[in-house]
Structure 1
Amino acid sequence: MSERSAVSGVDVKVLVTGASGYVGGRLVPRLVDAGHDVRVLVRRPWRVSDAPWAPNVEVIEGDLVDRAAVDRAVDGIEVVYYLVHGMASGGDFEDGELAAARNVAEASAAAGVRRIVYLGGLHPVSGPLSRHLRSRVAVGEVLLASGVPTIVLQAGVVIGSGSTSFEMIRHLTEVLPYMPAPRWVRSFIQPIAVRDVLHYLLGSLEVPAVVNRAFDIGGPDVLRYGQLMNGYAVEAGLPQRPIAALPVLTPWLAAQWVNLVTPVPRRLAIPIIESLQFDCVMHEHDIDDVIGPPAGGLTPYRRAVRLALARERAGQVETSWRDGDVPGAPSDPLPSDPDWAGTRVYLDLREQRSSAPAVDLWRVIEGVGGERGWYSFPPAWAVRGWIDRATGGVGLRRGRRDPDQLRVGDALDFWRVEALERGVSLRLRAEMKVPGRAWLEMEARSEPPGSRYRQRAVFFPKGLAGRLYWWAVLPFHAVIFAGMANRITAEAEALARANGQAGSSGPSADRVHRRGADAETPRTGLA
């Protein structure tokens, strides 16, 4: 390795943007463990409030397109990690990405930041690029021209538990015994393990200040995309799949196919597939002279798959593509008192006694969704999930990060964990396509000798369409929501009996109570 920088072995004041994302959420705890002073800039602080590293970092609320927020975030900072991109954004995202990059570039220069580190994408050195690759290149150029020494790390397909690319490869391979595929299955790819990406990001802290350029980074293997899928098949114990490249599948059509057979929604599949039209391989290895490879060497593709599978099977996925924002989904939290929110509110409230102690009831509540489902009328949930997928939403197949435990900010099928009081209450915010805003709350309250389960669905309709939607689905609520209350309390009682704790093995004495479904709330002078 070349000459080390002045910050080697010294605690550094670091700002991480994109801390709620896949790579940023893994980089932050490693920076903290290395003893650095870490600040994160996030649009919605509640999204990281339950992260294990949250108590050890400074959280600044703001958006990169807000110059005042960026100025606050970079004040006193030595190194800025720029780990955001608009891959999931719709519309004219390129202008927004450039505006954000200019804000960071100008604010960093004004604040005396010593280094910017940007994670971009591998791309051909000449010829046309997809919109998202073109945008990443443009962002890198803005940061390199900032006057602040900048390192742009250009990575291709990132392989790790929970990464978007890994999920696409895994589901395409597992679902299809025969793969009719677009021509991009013959494109050359140089995948890189997420652990190696983190190695280069951390190593960028020690690069001399004179370095201001882009570097290609990648793993030791160069493979066709079809070989990535069959490499996964070998590690997963599956037969290798025959693959036929078809010239008729456009990126848009291929994205619909990916949307159908994988949990990755169209909004993510389209930019990935557009980028796969090109060979994305390293054109230079100059990074070896600046940041050496990991001590054990770079991770081969199949070993990266093996490690990712082991993490997923053990339920130890640190971060996931599911953690990303859903464009168009509501971001405002549920008002503390929806009845006084100044608009029409539809409510479905159900309560039920259980002979199980509250601790067992909570275990069932925290375990809902994903592979366990929603304890009520699975066909209805499945149909709603398919409708959401068909309209470009995330659907039910997004699943959950951990099979047993939730954190604030976790994705849970087509919900997002908005609030969590462990052992007591869980609040989910809907991210499915719906004409309005919706939440689902579940609580476990101790009422010796057992407990009480409380469940509340809250819906703020948007216009006439929202009102018609509520009344259209109202007949199903008696089946779905009542069934949830019955099955969740029954499951808790079965769990308690298995533990020898239940006071009664019979049905709950106190049956479901339901409050009126429609509440017209008074309008106040508050917006």
Structure 2
Amino acid sequence: MEHDERAAGSRCLVAGATGYIGGRLVPELLAAGLRVRCLARDPGKLRDHPWAGEAEVVRGDVTDADSVAEAMQGVDVAYYLVHALGSGRDFESTDRHAARIFGERAKAAGVRRIVYLGGLTPAGVPDHALSPHLRSRAEVGSILLGSGVPTTVLRAAVIIGSGSASFEMLRHLTERLPVMITPRWVRTRIQPIAVRDVLRILVGSADMPARVNRAFDIGGPDVLTYRDMMIRYAAVAGLPRRVVLPVPVLTPGLSSHWVGLVTPVPASLARPLTESLRHEVVCHEHDIEAYVPNPPGHPLSFDEAVRLALRRVQDAQVATRWSSSAVPGAPSDPLPTDPDWAGGSLYTDLREAEVDAPADTLWRVIEGVGGENGWYSFPLAWALRGRLDRLAGGVGLRRGRRDAQRLRIGDSLDFWRVEEIEPGHLLRLRAEMRLPGPAWLEMYAENEGAGRSRYRQRALFHPHGLLGHAYWWAVSPFHALVFGGMARNIARTAAAAPHPRERECAPAR
């Protein structure tokens, strides 16, 4: 591969770092030895990212020429990962205006390369016949290519990764509907690509020779219809085979409302996504490989990309996705800036109670749950659940606990397993009873000062298919009795327990 200038040590500007791709690209650029500056309208949105202390973050907006000009100072490579998708009917005008500012200010600042991630467009279809979403992405690419700054435009179809709007739509449709009456666009041929390959190509594009100023199609090894993708997603996720029945009566507009009804993906996003699915989006060239060669095992297959996107659930770590301390470890993992509907469904039952006892006393009660001590609420319900679990081939409540007072990671605890302990603060249990999806129970002891504490309890359930959703809604009417009673009784038990100082002062008998 020929290089005019090495990218290592260069400064990169990432416009769109709060977005799906941008938030995942920054740590990849840092790992490649590049210095990174992020342009964000609200820098506070980036503070919880694990890389926040390694990248420079500046306030600005791509529609504000002055802030873009300031952000461009000293920059070698500028990544443009911004789209006004779902921001209103005039999003094409907003995209056009922002792209012109970005290109003009990049040229004025002496930026040596712009890298833009756009959409894969069908061959032979005139611009006016494209969906507004694809048409706008194509126009932005043309504007940047004509800016006078050498530009790499990468054109991708559906990106497979947790948090990608296209993937989340696919996930929720497949998870929730075992039988689907679908629009005609489920027959459209698509060449999806794994988010890991997209990021790898974005990073590699920083090092292209100055003479390169063009667009490249990027895609994975599989060309599939949308129907194929739903069926293969179900297979990878361990769901029963989906029945997909296309009908000709659902227009893109009706389709977006249907998607909005069935899934948590907002209709404002579903509409441009479904409109784009009218067109066949398949790579017509693979020239990018001459500049960013594929390492062994890449590009990833559709099945492998889905498997990685579901990894958090399969590895029993999904609970941390909804925790403020979540630290993603891979491009497929969720980020703090991902929307609430990303990462699949998660049902939560949250309970809190003030405790008239110090946190260490409350913690002893938490660490003592299960086994002979029971679960502090409605013993008959817990016993019945254990019996039902044994009838279904599960472990039931017969395992008890290893030690009456102390727990450690990996301990069995009735039909739970200790997954995480932060002594004095957090106990996280993973359910091992037979359920249509993984479940967790978290219990926290939080110090409130002045000899008081707060008990916080969180039950989480990640439904597996339609049966999982049905299960949660079937049992949720009993949560107030079971989980609510558990929170109240743990708080009362802690408040009634002798405090450490009281035990020390008690007379010997």
* TM-score, structure 1 as length reference: 0.65
- Report Cα offsets for 1:282-325 as digits up to 9, x if no partner: 01111122211133221000111111111344325634697259
1:87 is displaced (CA, Å) by 1.5
- Report Cα offsets for 1:128-185 as digits up to 9, x if no partner: 1000100000000010001100000000100012222222112211211211000000
| Cα separation, 1, equivalents of 2:495 and 2:229 | 54
For 2:53, what is the secondary structure of its paired residue?
Answer: helix
Corresponding residue number in structure 2 for 1:54: 52
1:239 is displaced (CA, Å) by 2.0
Greater C-alpha radius of gyration:
2
Alignment pair present for 1:504 and 2:506: no
Alignment pair present for 1:299 and 2:300: yes
| Cα separation, 1, equivalents of 2:212 and 2:173 | 41
For 2:496, what is the secondary structure of its paired residue?
Answer: coil
Corresponding residue number in structure 2 for 1:323: 338
Corresponding residue number in structure 2 for 1:278: 279
Structure 1 pair 358–77 and aligned structure 2 pair: CA distance change class (3 A): farther
Alpha carbons 1:158, 1:165 under 8 Å: kept = yes
Corresponding residue number in structure 2 for 1:165: 166
1:253 is displaced (CA, Å) by 1.0
For 1:134, what is the secondary structure of its paired residue?
Answer: helix
Structure 1 pair 360–195 and aligned structure 2 pair: CA distance change class (3 A): farther
Alpha carbons 1:358, 1:452 under 8 Å: kept = no
| Cα separation, 1, equivalents of 2:103 and 2:486 | 57
- Report Cα offsets for 1:229-268 as digits up to 9, x if no partner: 0000111112222211111001111111111221211011
For 2:89, what is the secondary structure of its paired residue?
Answer: coil
| Cα separation, 2, equivalents of 1:229 and 1:253 | 20
Alpha carbons 2:356, 2:495 under 8 Å: kept = no
- Report Cα offsets for 1:341-381 as digits up to 9, x if no partner: xxxxxxxxx994454629989xx9xxxxxxxxxxxxxxxxx
Corresponding residue number in structure 1 for 2:433: none
Alpha carbons 1:164, 1:321 under 8 Å: kept = no
CA RMSD of superposed structures (Å): 3.2
Corresponding residue number in structure 1 for 2:193: 192
Q: How does 1:143-222 map to 2 (within 5 A)?
A: 143-222=144-223
Q: How does 1:229-378 map to 2 (within 5 A)?
A: 229-313=230-314, 314-315=317-318, 318-319=333-334, 323=338, 352-355=354-357, 357=359
Alignment pair present for 1:491 and 2:487: yes
| Cα separation, 1, equivalents of 2:119 and 2:189 | 14
| One-letter amino acid of the structure 1 residue matched with residue 110 of structure 2 | G
| Cα separation, 1, equivalents of 2:227 and 2:60 | 41
Which structure is richer in relative contact order (CA contacts within 8 A, separation 6 or more)?
Answer: 1
Gaps of 5+ in 1: 327-349, 365-422, 424-442, 455-482, 507-527
Structure 1 pair 210–173 and aligned structure 2 pair: CA distance change class (3 A): same
Q: How does 1:22-33 map to 2 (within 5 A)?
A: 22-33=20-31
For 1:206, what is the secondary structure of its paired residue?
Answer: coil
1:452 is displaced (CA, Å) by 5.3
Alpha carbons 1:65, 1:99 under 8 Å: kept = yes
Within the candidate set 84, 87, 92, 2:85 is matched to 87
Structure 1 pair 322–278 and aligned structure 2 pair: CA distance change class (3 A): farther
For 1:101, what is the secondary structure of its paired residue?
Answer: helix
Structure 1 pair 89–494 and aligned structure 2 pair: CA distance change class (3 A): same
- Report Cα offsets for 1:448-474 as digits up to 9, x if no partner: 4332589xxxxxxxxxxxxxxxxxxxx
Structure 1 pair 239–61 and aligned structure 2 pair: CA distance change class (3 A): same
Aligned length: 371
1:488 is displaced (CA, Å) by 8.3
Corresponding residue number in structure 2 for 1:63: 61
| Cα separation, 2, equivalents of 1:196 and 1:267 | 27
- Report Cα offsets for 1:61-91 as digits up to 9, x if no partner: 0110000000010011000000111112112
Corresponding residue number in structure 1 for 2:451: 449
Alpha carbons 1:74, 1:108 under 8 Å: kept = yes
Alpha carbons 2:95, 2:136 under 8 Å: kept = yes
1:110 is displaced (CA, Å) by 0.3
Corresponding residue number in structure 2 for 1:376: none
| Cα separation, 2, equivalents of 1:321 and 1:258 | 24
Deviates more, 1:57-66 or 1:157-166: 157-166
| Cα separation, 2, equivalents of 1:139 and 1:91 | 17
Corresponding residue number in structure 2 for 1:20: 18
| One-letter amino acid of the structure 2 residue matched with residue 66 of structure 1 | D
Alpha carbons 2:49, 2:336 under 8 Å: kept = no
1:33 is displaced (CA, Å) by 1.9
| One-letter amino acid of the structure 1 residue matched with residue 359 of structure 2 | P
| Cα separation, 1, equivalents of 2:361 and 2:310 | 31
| Cα separation, 1, equivalents of 2:37 and 2:191 | 32
Structure 1 pair 153–359 and aligned structure 2 pair: CA distance change class (3 A): farther
| Cα separation, 2, equivalents of 1:163 and 1:169 | 10
| Cα separation, 2, equivalents of 1:495 and 1:306 | 41
Structure 1 pair 244–446 and aligned structure 2 pair: CA distance change class (3 A): same
Corresponding residue number in structure 2 for 1:373: none
Alpha carbons 2:182, 2:246 under 8 Å: kept = yes
For 2:206, what is the secondary structure of its paired residue?
Answer: helix
Structure 1 pair 358–286 and aligned structure 2 pair: CA distance change class (3 A): farther
| Cα separation, 2, equivalents of 1:12 and 1:210 | 18
Alpha carbons 1:493, 1:505 under 8 Å: kept = no
| Cα separation, 1, equivalents of 2:167 and 2:187 | 18
Structure 1 pair 290–446 and aligned structure 2 pair: CA distance change class (3 A): same
Within the candidate set 95, 99, 102, 2:100 is matched to 102
For 2:20, what is the secondary structure of its paired residue?
Answer: coil
| Cα separation, 2, equivalents of 1:66 and 1:4 | 33
Structure 1 pair 190–358 and aligned structure 2 pair: CA distance change class (3 A): farther
Alpha carbons 2:174, 2:234 under 8 Å: kept = yes
Structure 1 pair 495–192 and aligned structure 2 pair: CA distance change class (3 A): farther
Deviates more, 1:158-167 or 1:24-33: 158-167
